[in-house]
Amino acid sequence: MKLIYDKSQPGRTGVNVSPSDVPTSIHLKDELLRSDDAKLPELSELDVVRHFTELARMNFGVDTNFYPLGSCTMKYNPKVTERVAAYPGFAHLHPLLPQLRLGGILTQGALEVLYEMDMLLREIAGMAEFTMQPMAGAHGELTGVMMMAAYHRDKGNEKKTILVPDSAHGTNPASAAIAGYTVSVVPSDDNGLMDINALKEMVNDEVAGLMLTSPNTLGLFNPHVKEICDIIHSVDGLAYYDGANLNAIIGKVRPGDIGFDIVHFNLHKTFATPHGGGGPGAGPVGVCEKLVDYLPVSIVVKRDDGTYALEYDRPKTIGYIAPFYGNFGIILRAYAYILTLGKVGLQRVSDNAVLNANYIKEKLKNYYDLPFPQVCKHECVFSAARQNKFGVHGLDIAKGLIDEGYHPPTMYFPLTVKEAMMIEPTETESKETIDAFIEAMIKIAKLAETEPEKLLAAPITTPIGRLDETKAAKQVDIASL
């Protein structure tokens, strides 16, 4: 495919700009003007439309095919939420419009959405209050750990360490470190769960808290989670719930009910917003009653007269953690999603996500190594170690899946499993789609034994074939960008 500059032909234009009828009373200084014309491509409107349409057809997303990316919950997102987010009354709001008086009537609807979303998430999480400001899951993690640090400073606690399981999301240690803590890793036991005995040995008065993802990145829910929270609380530590895998337990378990003090949710995973490519995202954080004073400002409050406003008078707040009020459009989509499904619908999300993951696990366990065979939640993790003896690695299987029309699952993560392949089907895929994916995985497993060279050459159906990925990362072809 040619670059748009290569398609350029002198004199072609896709726009027709009328002469300005506004008097030019401002004269720019000569040094502010270009000395040469901008080197822009010259194309007709049709050429431009075809170019970018062809580029779009090369993209892969949940609207085009199955996207079993483990840990990221790449599920189909209903278009009704997109329509709600596009309502002019929301989409055309400017964040500097006043809350009350003057243009205040224009902002009341948006403030009401933020307030009611807080109430909905409190019910889902079992928390006392939420902030909607964090703009991603990792941003929510950092916000939560910053409140953890503020709590300990306020109490005069000498806390230096955050405990993180070895199967945690990679951003957990980074968030703890940015907040000023030393990270200690808690190992897994033989069942793929955080070793509770090791935890007991590591807990002391210097422990500020624990960051736990449950289900973890193996898709396994820790049955000792309540005891784990009690152990952390015994040294006045705080238990942090990473809600990246909420899709497995929404409507089934409330983190606050089992002892967690802080929780972040990924609205861009669980509640109807496309996820991936660095955004868009939203990672609201909820806290228990004793941490409410440390929430970021501002907080949406409902006044006695029924109007809504932003409250800033929080002396112990950790301050601002996002411009304006986070990604409002993402919050709006999640709000519409939750109201559409309701309590029963959200519970069915968990039911179907867990059913689909276990279906895949059972169908593929005879073809790929399964390190932890117990019932999983929303995702299952296989190992390509069996295929290694034929010279085939997880990366080769991933490339082979591309030729079969599927996006690869998450590869080589978690690090606790050699040659890991983490598969999350979500609840939105049909049995027919999942069966076709399973057949593709079985085909690749057989190909690894009989014709491994074909997998080593994959992909062959894409515009760009197999790259030397190390070289590609170190020697970027600037000319083609």
| 386 and 274 part of one domain | no
Q: Are residues 325 and 353 in the same domain?
A: no
Question: For residue 205, how far is the Cα from the chain centroid?
Answer: 33
Distances (CA, A) of 250 to 73, 283, 344: 13, 16, 10
Give the angle subtended at the CA of 176 by the CAs of 410 and 223, to the nearest 5°.
60
- What CATH number does residue 452 fall under? 3.90.1150.10
What pLDDT does residue 437 have? Answer: 98
pLDDT above 60: residue 276: no
Res. 103 pLDDT band, cuts 50 70 90: very low
Assess whether 263 and 168 both reside in one domain.
yes
State whether 314 and 459 are in the same domain: no
Provide the pLDDT for residue 279. 61
Cα 222 to the center of its chain, rounded Å: 22
Domain shared by 225 and 247, yes or no? yes
Residue 23 lies in a domain: no
| Model confidence pLDDT, tens digit, residues 154-176 | 999 999 999 999 988 878 999 99
The answer to whether residue 61 sits within a structural domain is no
User: Is 60 exceeded by the pLDDT of residue 340?
Assistant: yes
* 383 C-beta neighbours (distance < 10 Å), count: 17
The number of domains in the chain is: 2
pLDDT tens figures, 418-436: 999 999 999 999 999 999 9
Asked whether residue 65 is domain-assigned, the answer is no
Q: Are residues 336 and 352 in the same domain?
A: no
User: Could you list the residue range(s) of the whole structural domain that residue 265 is in?
Assistant: 81-340
Question: How far is 311 from 294, CA to CA, in rounded Å?
Answer: 13
pLDDT band at 400 (very low <50, low <70, confident <90, very high): very high
> Residue 469's pLDDT is what?
80
In a domain, 177, yes or no: yes
| pLDDT above 50 for 465 | yes
Query: What's the confidence (pLDDT) of residue 117?
Result: 97
* SS3 of the chain: CCCCCCCCCCCCCCCCCCCCCCCCCCCCCHHHCCCCCCCCCCCCHHHHHHHHHHHHHCCCCCCCCCCCECCCCCCCCCHHHHHHHCCHHHHCCCCCCCCCCCCHHHHHHHHHHHHHHHHHHHHHHCCCEEECCCCCHHHHHHHHHHHHHHHHHHHCCCCCEEEEECCCCCHHHHHHHHCCCEEEEECECCCCCECHHHHHHHCCCCEEEEEEECCCCCCCCCCCHHHHHHHHHCCCCEEEEEECCHHHCCCCCCHHHHCCCEEEECHHHHCCCCCCCCCCCCCCEEECHHHHHHCCCCEEEECCCCCEEEECCCCCCCCCCCCECECHHHHHHHHHHHHHHHHHHHHHHHHHHHHHHHHHHHHHCCCCECCCCCCCCCCEEEECHHHHCCCCCHHHHHHHHHHCCCCCCEECCCCCCCCEEEECCCCCCCHHHHHHHHHHHHHHHHHHHHCHHHHHHCCCCCCCCCCCHHHHHHCCCHHHC
In a domain, 214, yes or no: yes
- Residues 329, 350, single domain; the answer is no
* CA–CA separation, 130 and 284 (whole Å): 7
Write 260-263 long-range contacts (CB < 8 A, 24+): 260/212, 260/229, 260/288, 261/209, 261/287, 261/288, 261/290, 261/291, 262/144, 262/147, 262/148, 262/209, 262/238, 262/286, 262/287, 262/288, 262/291, 263/125, 263/127, 263/144, 263/287
| Mean pLDDT, residues 29-50 taken together | 89
Identify the band that residue 326 occupies on the pLDDT scale cut at 50, 70 and 90: confident
- pLDDT, mean over the chain: 91
Asked whether residue 60 is domain-assigned, the answer is: no
What does residue 423 show for φ and ψ, rounded to 5 degrees? -110, 125
Chosen domain end from 340, 355, 386 = 340
Tokens standing for residue 265:
């949710």
Report percent pLDDT > 90 for the chain. Answer: 71
356 and 425 share a domain?
yes
Domain containing residue 138: CATH number: 3.40.640.10
Specify whether 227 is located in the same domain as 315.
yes
Does 419 lie in the same domain as 292?
no
Pair (419, 318) in one structural domain: no
Q: Which of 340, 358, 384 is the last residue of a domain?
A: 340
d(CA 291, CA 147): 7
Question: Which of 287, 309, 340 delimits the end of a domain?
Answer: 340
Asked whether the predicted pLDDT for residue 102 surpasses 60, the reply is no
Encoded tokens for 127: 């928390």
In this structure, of 22-26, 133-137, 332-336, 373-377, the range with the lowest mean pLDDT score is 22-26
Residue 38 lies in a domain: no
Q: What percent of the chain has pLDDT over 70?
A: 96
Whether 219 and 331 map to the same domain: the answer is: yes
Asked, for residue 88, whether it belongs to a domain, the answer is yes
